[in-house]
Amino acid sequence: MKKILIVSWSQTGQLADVVNAVAGPLLAAPDIEVVFETLRPVTPYPFPWSFLRFFNTFPETVYEEPLPLQPLQVNPATSFDLVILAYQVWFLSPSQPMMAFLQSPAAAQLLNDKPVMTLIACRNMWLMAQEVMKGKLAALGARLVDNAVLVDRAHPAATFISTPMWMLTGKRGPFLGGSVPAAGIPADDILAASRFGEAIARQLPARDMRDSTPMLKNLQAVVVNERLIASEKIARRSFVIWGKALRALGSPSSILRQLFLCLYVVFLVVMILTVVPVSALVKRLLSPLTRTRIAQQRCYYALPSGED
Ligand SMILES: Cc1cc2nc3c(=O)[nH]c(=O)nc-3n(C[C@H](O)[C@H](O)[C@H](O)COP(=O)(O)O)c2cc1C
């Protein structure tokens, strides 16, 4: 009997639906036992978010100071054959509940020398968050064997409106009379995530614990949007710089920090509306020169499961 631990937390239920789709075939497999660990923040995050609370969350998210979790329900001494870490991205970083889990002594016990699969459901920017995740897993002695990612398929310009609207109003849309499609991952994509569970159910029972080869090859586990690579790197750097400045102004409840934060949001929107299209244009013009490097980056970010 092989044991799988699935660690997750979901605010709107989107990531929970993805987890259920993946877990379906695993629960049906006679030789696999699945343990679910749903993270429970001591103080629940608000939903819908207020404007200030939403943006005020970014410095602590980027600086990895998450709100605490209630104690885990799983016995951390249990040895699992595979741990699935299902997380959403917050400000190009793993969300606070997942970060709190990664920082817990229980995670150190559960993940050390264990094969780990990451499962991401987010708007569309996950590359930098997964880089952070890779660093944490390496520090915990875990082996990342697979990564599967589901994103909102609408145009990035549309999701730039629909995702914040969803988070700030609780309504998925469509918005603006239907010109901005509803936010979130398409239901068909969520159902199709069961292919990951099927592949694991087929391979895990006969697999050696030491085996670190991916199980999700040739399943289109991820799609790397190469147009977002540079934007993510620039935005992450900006979050680090502004996050440091905001934290220097005080705790999230400080009025001075909140005023400065409003300035930052204006700066951010102007940046996104100017820098992102300009950098996309520059990238297109330079593409004959950068094609090889971008192809290499794309292969790197697609690891370990790949885009095939
Ligand atoms: C505070 C916050 C920040 C977010 N930042 C990002 C981001 O940087 N990149 C991204 O693709 N999605 C981002 N999202 C969207 C989430 O990744 C996720 O898709 C959404 O919150 C729904 O997840 P749920 O399963 O927790 O309901 C953010 C959401 C929140 C609440």
Determine if ligand 1 sits within 6 Å of the CB of residue 15: yes
Determine if ligand 1 sits within 6 Å of the CB of residue 88: yes
Determine if ligand 1 sits within 6 Å of the CB of residue 163: yes
Task: Look up residue 66 and give its two tokens.
Answer: 């998450």
What pLDDT is attached to residue 18? Answer: 98
What pLDDT is attached to residue 230? Answer: 86
In a domain, 239, yes or no: no
- Please give the tally of structural domains in the chain: 1
In a domain, 240, yes or no: no
What pLDDT is attached to residue 243? Answer: 97
* Residue from 273, 294, 261 nearest 55 by CA: 261
What pLDDT is attached to residue 274? Answer: 85
In a domain, 24, yes or no: yes
What pLDDT is attached to residue 280? Answer: 78
Determine if ligand 1 sits within 6 Å of the CB of residue 87: no
Cβ pair 222, 51 in contact under 8 A: no
- Ligand 1 atom 19: the closest Cα is on which residue? 122
- CA dihedral sign of residues 151, 182, 159, 41: negative
> How far, in Å, CA of 222 to CA of 176, rounded?
30
Q: Domain containing 159: what range?
A: 2-225
Q: Ligand 1 centroid vs 124 CA: distance in angstroms?
A: 9
In a domain, 305, yes or no: no
What pLDDT is attached to residue 186? Answer: 98
What pLDDT is attached to residue 281? Answer: 86
| Closest ligand 1 atom, residue 49 Cα | 31
In a domain, 45, yes or no: yes
Q: Ligand 1 centroid vs 122 CA: distance in angstroms?
A: 5
Which parts of the chain have pLDDT scores under 70? none
- Ligand 1 atom 12: the closest Cα is on which residue? 123
In a domain, 144, yes or no: yes
The CATH code of the domain that includes 114 is: 3.40.50.360
In a domain, 244, yes or no: no
- Residues 6 or more apart whose Cβ sits within 8 Å of residue 290: 283
> How far, in Å, CA of 1 to CA of 101, rounded?
26
DSSP state of 10: -
In a domain, 83, yes or no: yes
What pLDDT is attached to residue 279? Answer: 78
